[in-house]
Amino acid sequence: MGMGWCIGLIAAGGILTFAVDWQIDGMNITLVGLILMAAGLLGLSAYVSVFKRRRMQPPPPAAHVVEEDHRITR
């Protein structure tokens, strides 16, 4: 699931929970909305965790210091 789907689930769950007052026999719309929001948050946290691990890279090796002698000799 991508980040867009997760945010979409959170938005759809929020709409069902807070903005809809439908009454359907045998189904609690508020509970369905809460479940969708929880699934979206769980998916978003898993996506961010995997994305963070994928972007972590070891630090680059330290560059070798080259010292040059610029003294003028006569």
Count the helix, strand and coil residues of the chain and give each as a percent rounded to the nearest 5: 60, 5, 40
The pLDDT value given to residue 61: 75
The pLDDT value given to residue 68: 77
pLDDT one-digit tens code per residue, 20-73: 988 889 999 999 999 999 999 999 999 888 877 666 666 677 777 777 777 776
Instruction: Name the maximum alpha-carbon separation found in the chain.
Output: 102
In the chain, domain spans: 3-55
